[in-house]
Structure 1
Amino acid sequence: MLETLKNLDLTPFILSFKLAGITTLILFFISLPFAWYLSQSKSKFKPFLEALTALPIVLPPSFLGFYILIVFVEIDLNFSFTGLVVASCFYSLPFMVQPLQGGFEGLNKNMLEASYIAGKSKMQTLFHVALPNIRPALLTALIITFSHTVGEFGVILMIGGSIPGETKVASIAIYEMVDMMDYGKAHIYSAIMLGISFVVLLLVYVFNHSQKRVGGLK
């Protein structure tokens, strides 16, 4: 066991965290104005946009991966880290948008109206009033998006395959170890993933509960 730990290749984890970090950053800047629009919109097309955004939650990863694969053939993004980032942005989009939208919809409307009356634009209200007041939702969106991207498998396998140092992330490495019946390393990799996921979720819940207690004392 000690020898296995000593020779453990951490490159797949580094790639997983790199992919998750870049995807989360991109999705934050894309989703923030979009979630704000959805939370404030009364358009009849709002349910359509919400359903379209939520599709990756219910679609099988293989279905989504197949069509992304076809599109990527035309622009030469298959089997590359860049391709993984773009595919991950599609697959993880709802995990960023929905918590942000929920946070914005839960804001006190009088506070937003007061901002508009004070002469602030919608973007100023978003960044200076709304965003600072949805910290629990913001943290949830960031952490869940990051964690979900780290754990991706189906889309990653179809788009990136398993190129060491390029597309072989932790989930793919575990799959290959099981396929080769190397259960020892598979257990270690899985334990690391489980530990990271649990700690991340624990931090989210602890922070959210602390924010609720602080809010209740005000």
Structure 2
Amino acid sequence: MLLTDSDWQALSITLQLAALSTALLLVIGLPLAAWRVRKQTALRRILDAVLALPLVLPPTVLGFYLLVLFAPTTPLGQAWHWLTGQGLAFSFAGLVLGSVLYSLPFVVQPLTVAMREIPQSLLEAAASLGANRWERLLRVVLPLLRRGILVAGTLGFAHTLGEFGVVLMLGGSIPGETQVVSIALFQHVEALRYGEAHRLAACLLGLSFLLLLLVYGLGDTRRAAPMRS
């Protein structure tokens, strides 16, 4: 076998984490991107700064403050326990929360760019033909956002695959529960098991490369579309 059983478990947990986090990121990111496009206020600039924090903030700092905010004695921690039935630390749900917050700018930014490129004249034409807000969303906005959604989802998924600091702070390294690929790779190197580290790193490298090919392929298709028309 190329990978050990524990490595397969780590890969499975990583893929589950990336898939669930990406779905939540798109649900959260679409309305946030729409709000950023529509609003030009001081509050929007504050929101932009908050959304960009994970780009410059060390992931361990984010993980630490999440642990503090969601401690069992805090209102957020008690609400979290009521919703999930467990504490934030050393849980898969904690990994999801940290991953969503840490990858949010990688999803919101491409969605914002895609929404800004939608011609306002198309929405006005749809409204003049009697389409209500929901019909304009379903028949005009979402079809035009399809590539933007795919790019944002791919970037969010790829970014989640390589997370280390925030998932280590929140989930630790429990095999079969919270141990993801990046942590398993670090432990292989720490134990001087370079063969296992090479194989695991190669899997992650190959998967990340394929995802980036998809992103650039979508971008090339988008640029070529006006030329074909």
Under a length normalisation based on structure 1, what TM-score does the superposition of the two structures give? 0.92
Deviation digits for residues 98-128 of structure 1 (CA, Å, limit 9, x no counterpart): 1101100111121122233334444443332
Supply the distance in 1 between the matched residues of 2:163 and 2:207 (Cα, whole angstroms).
Answer: 14
Residue 36 of structure 2 is matched in structure 1 by: 38
Given candidates 4, 8, 33, the residue that maps to 1:10 is 8
Q: CA–CA distance in 2 between the matches of 1:42 and 1:118?
A: 28
Aligned to 2:83: none
The structure 1 residue matched to 2:172, chosen from 128, 152, 161, is 161
Identity score, percent: 42
**2: distance between equivalents of 1:7 and 1:173?**
11
Rounded to whole Å, the distance in 1 between the matches of 2:165 and 2:47 is 25
Unaligned runs of 5+ in 1: none
Are the structure 2 counterparts of residues 51 and 7 from structure 1 closer, same or farther at C-alpha, using a change threshold of 3 Å? closer
| Per-residue Cα deviation, 1:71-95 (whole angstroms, up to 9, x for no partner) | 2322221100011111111111111
Whole-angstrom CA distance in 2 between matches of 1:66 and 1:104: 34
1:46-84: CA deviation from partner (whole Å, max 9, x where unpaired):
211111111111111111111011123222211000111
Report the equivalent of 1:29: 27
CA RMSD of aligned residues (A): 1.6
1:99 aligns with 2:114: no
2:40 is paired with a residue of what secondary structure?
coil
* Unmatched tracts of structure 2, length 5 or more: 78-86
**1:137-164 deviation line (CA, Å, top 9, x unaligned):** 2111000000101110000001100001
Which of the numbers 133, 138, 141 marks the counterpart of 2:152? 141
Amino acid aligned to 2:62:
L
Following TM superposition, the consecutive aligned residue runs of length 4 or more in structure 1 with deviations greater than 6 angstroms are none
Aligned length: 215
- Among 178, 181, 188, the residue aligned to 2:199: 188
